[in-house]
Amino acid sequence: MHNSSLYLSMRSFIGIVMQSSLFDVAICFILAGAIDVVIVNLYPFYETVTTFRDVSFDNCIEDIDIGGPTMIRAAAKNHKDVLVVVDPKDYEPLIEHLQGKGNMDDAMFRRRLAWKAFQHVAAYNSAVSEWFWKQTNSGEFVPSFNVVLERSSSLRYGENPHQKAAFYFDKSLSDVKLGGIATALQHHGKGMSYNNYLDADAAWNCASEFSAPTCVIVKHTNPCGIASRHNLVDAYRLALEADPVSAFGGIVTFNVEVDEVLAKALREVRSPTDGETRMFYEIVIAPSYTPKGLEVLKGKSKTLRILEAKKNERGRQSLRQIGGWLAGSGGR
């Protein structure tokens, strides 16, 4: 049943918000029956407005979930008596908890689910709000907005070895297969560090600016070699020759697929400085790899990080933190 026509009866809400400690619990139970678990999957509004570019305004409106968020909020508020689940990843932990096999006490488990529920609804409402602002065609920067991020991993260390760090990404970009380094797939190598992400992002952004087959080598966020050639092995050699000293220990990025021939060049080419030293790199980035190309690269080093990155979304505004935040329109 479409949510715009979903009948949310008073009995349903009594069952959700009913507190087991209330004096009139018996009356409520007779009227509605207790609800112990609420599981809701919201309509995929964000996917609708980003994937189907020509979708009509009215169809987008119809895909704004009303009943789902209402039930989620009601259940989350009454989490002491109702378990609320909004993420399919929590189905298995929920079953284990109900079977008494979970590794978290009941109160904490319920609070974690309630937190996720409110966060989920907030992100959903933010997506709707952002879309509505775009429909005003004002061309102005939005007066206020929310940035919804999801923690992907805890990093090995921060900007310096004694600091802690974590990586967060914009899940909405991952859902529509965009996002650059933030949503990249790591095929091989050590875990990414804080500085690895900074350098990889700089390298990928630079390589993405070119339409011709291009190699970009970056060290400490600065390009130290860039070359465009139809033959990517030639492009790699030329980029390396620009500054082989700085390139050592850097990041090599390509804006087209890495095949077996190119992978062998990355593995075997010696430094132009002495013709003997085999080049060492922290990261290799490309939009895709052939099976053989990936196999060859994995043999270069156990620690070499091999990333497969999706394109960055053109036109999306960029943000920079300076205490406050600087916002700028995206694109070239």
The CATH number covering residue 252 comes to 3.40.140.20
Residue 139 resides in a domain? no
Query: For 108-155, what is each residue's pLDDT tens digit?
Result: 999 999 999 999 999 899 989 988 988 887 778 888 888 888 888 888
Pair (96, 185) in one structural domain: no
CB 226, CB 239: distance < 8 Å: yes
Residue 111 resides in a domain? yes
Pair (95, 199) in one structural domain: no
Token pair 């492009």 is found at: 235
Q: Is 187 a residue of the active site?
A: no
**CATH assignment of the domain containing 99:** 3.40.50.1380
Is the confidence at residue 14, as pLDDT, over 60? no
Pair (12, 114) in one structural domain: yes
CB 11, CB 32: distance < 8 Å: yes
Q: Considering its fold, how many domains does the chain have in total?
A: 2
Q: What proportion of the chain, given as a percentage, has pLDDT over 70? A: 81
Per-residue pLDDT at 294: 95
Per-residue pLDDT at 34: 73
Q: What range defines the domain where residue 68 resides?
A: 3-134
Residue 331 resides in a domain? no
CB 289, CB 264: distance < 8 Å: no
Task: Choose the final residue of a domain: 106, 134, 162.
Answer: 134
Is the confidence at residue 1, as pLDDT, over 50? no
Q: Is 302 a residue of the active site?
A: no
The structure tokens listed for 236 are 């790699």
User: What number of CA atoms fall less than 13 Å from residue 82's CA on the CB side?
Assistant: 28
Q: Which of 77, 187, 188, 264 is catalytic?
A: 77
Pair (191, 285) in one structural domain: yes
Confidence of residue 33 (pLDDT cuts 50, 70, 90): low
Q: Which of 2, 164, 177, 220 is catalytic?
A: 220
Q: Nearest to residue 135, comparing CAs of 224, 22, 72, 49?
A: 49
Pair (186, 125) in one structural domain: no
Pair (21, 102) in one structural domain: yes
CB 191, CB 167: distance < 8 Å: no
Residue 82 resides in a domain? yes
Residue 55 resides in a domain? yes
Per-residue pLDDT at 102: 82
Residue 91 resides in a domain? yes
Do β-strands 166-169 and 222-228 pair in parallel, antiparallel, or remain unpaired? Answer: unpaired
Cα angle 245, 247, 249; round to 5:
100
